[in-house]
Amino acid sequence: MSGSGPMNVFDIAGRAMSAQLVRLNATASNMANAGNVTGSAAEAYRAIKPVFQSVTDSPGVSTVKVANVVTTNAEPTKRHDPNHPLADANGDVWESAVDSNAEMVDMIETARMYQNNVQVLNTAKSLMLETIRIGK
């Protein structure tokens, strides 16, 4: 899938890191919109999530890519707040459909997965350098 031949450890880890960056950007967007209110349920922000797809180059060699980014079907929370400037005729506003706690857990998990792939790259680099040293 890399274009010049079969995937290697650097391709695999690099693609995984790219997918995790998309996931982290989605989480950041969700966190930025948590607590936002609008005047209607249709306008309320709904959390977004990336959909990962496995990419297999050959048996035992696979990585991941982001196939799509979808909007969750969580419903915004209706709150009666007649003094809010965005309140509708009934005095209601809708708060974004974002679970801040779940987003924090997702952010921590994403950061750990990204760090794991950095460690894979560092290990591969160290092993390659050690192999070169042995050959000298």
Q: How far is CA 127 from CA 33, 82, 109, 124, in A?
A: 43, 65, 27, 5
For the cut 80, the answer to whether the pLDDT of residue 2 exceeds it is no
In a domain, 36, yes or no: yes
Going by their DSSP bridges, the two strands 61-71 and 77-80 should be labelled as unpaired
Specify the pLDDT at position 62. Answer: 87
Number of folded domains that form the chain:
1
Q: What is the mean pLDDT of residues 35-52?
A: 94
At 111-135, the pLDDT tens digits run 999 999 999 999 999 999 999 998 7
At 44-100, the pLDDT tens digits run 999 999 999 999 888 888 899 999 999 999 999 999 999 999 999 999 999 999 999
In a domain, 1, yes or no: no
> CA–CA separation, 71 vs 84, rounded Å?
27
